[in-house]
Amino acid sequence: MALDHTSFAVHDAMGWARRLRRELGATPIFGEQLAEFRYLLLHVGTADDGARVELLEPRGAGFLTRFLSARGEGPHHITFVVPDLRAMVAHARALGLTVVGEDHDHPPWREAFIAPDDKHGVVIQLAQSDRSYPPVEQLLSSRTRDLEDFPSSRGATEPLWWTQLWETAPGAVARLGTTHLASTDLGFSRLVFGDLLEARVAEDDSALDLSWPGGSVRVHAADRPGVTGMSLRGGPAGGIAIGPARLGTTGSRPDVRARNPYS
């Protein structure tokens, strides 16, 4: 079980990627185009200290255009790579969660989605793949991407659509860390993230600190649910806002240091 990335819906993925590269030193990892959207994964940090974000951009009418029309740019989902997708889906349903969009028959990227509820307000993507990313040191030191090594979505095309991003000079490397999530029910959050998603859990009266290989999530008690941002060390003063969320200092406690997201 691993935390893979936190995903943001945006109108212009390349525009945002250029900004994150200029201001945070982000490195592009991989991306593809599908019928309704295209995506790009970026690593923000060093080989042993950082996290991965995904930028989602619509290409045609569908779920992403509806999301952006209703909510504007901002957090869309959190993705976890799991060892047994079918077992995880069954467990999720046993907890009363709604699972949609199942695809168990595409080995490079099997997936299912836990629909947002009134306690967390965010999609949780569950994924299983027979492929794995190269070591982070290799990804950060080379522009070469062996496309056969990467997890790949069903029906995806143009895995190099994003390579013009290399033309943007990177700024000083900042270090992205913990994803911050507001929850209206910490007890249920512990079931979802601790029981279902097998996080290591530390808790107090107002928050859960959850960690996996790949990174960490801090779940705060709040009246309104949803991802509020990601912790960031370095970068511009005040961080970077993507809709209502902010890459920057978030929450009242120090960031939980992320482990290697590619191990």
Q: Is 111 part of a structural domain of the chain?
A: yes
User: Both 80 and 189 in a single domain?
Assistant: no
Measuring CA to CA, how many Å separate 250 from each of 45, 110, 130, 178, 180? 17, 32, 35, 9, 7
- The 8-class DSSP code of residue 208 comes to E
User: Both 129 and 201 in a single domain?
Assistant: no
Mean pLDDT of 164-189: 98
Q: State yes or no: pLDDT of 250 exceeds 90.
A: no
- Please report the pLDDT score of residue 34 as a whole number: 97
**If DSSP codes are grouped into helix, strand and coil, which group holds residue 42?**
strand
Structure confidence by residue, pLDDT tens digits, 186-223: 999 999 999 999 999 999 889 999 999 999 999 999 99
Structure confidence by residue, pLDDT tens digits, 67-107: 999 999 999 999 999 999 999 999 999 999 999 999 999 99
Q: What is the number of domains present in the chain?
A: 2
Mean pLDDT of 127-131: 97
User: Both 147 and 26 in a single domain?
Assistant: yes
Tokens of 80: 């976890």
Q: Is 223 part of a structural domain of the chain?
A: yes
Q: CA dihedral defined by 100, 193, 111, 142, rounded to 10 degrees?
A: 140
Q: State yes or no: pLDDT of 262 exceeds 50.
A: no
Query: The domain spanning residue 237 has which CATH number?
Result: 3.10.180.10
User: Both 201 and 152 in a single domain?
Assistant: no
User: Could you tell me if 153 and 41 are in contact, meaning their C-beta atoms sit under 8 angstroms apart?
Assistant: no
Structure confidence by residue, pLDDT tens digits, 30-79: 999 999 999 999 999 999 999 999 999 999 999 999 999 999 999 999 99
Backbone angles phi, psi at 180, to 5 degrees: -105, 130
User: Both 232 and 192 in a single domain?
Assistant: yes
- Please report the pLDDT score of residue 149 as a whole number: 86
- Please report the pLDDT score of residue 261 as a whole number: 37
Percent over 90 (pLDDT), the chain: 92
Cα gap 247→240, rounded to integer Å: 5
Q: State yes or no: pLDDT of 258 exceeds 60.
A: no
Range of the domain at 202: 175-247
pTM of the model: 0.94
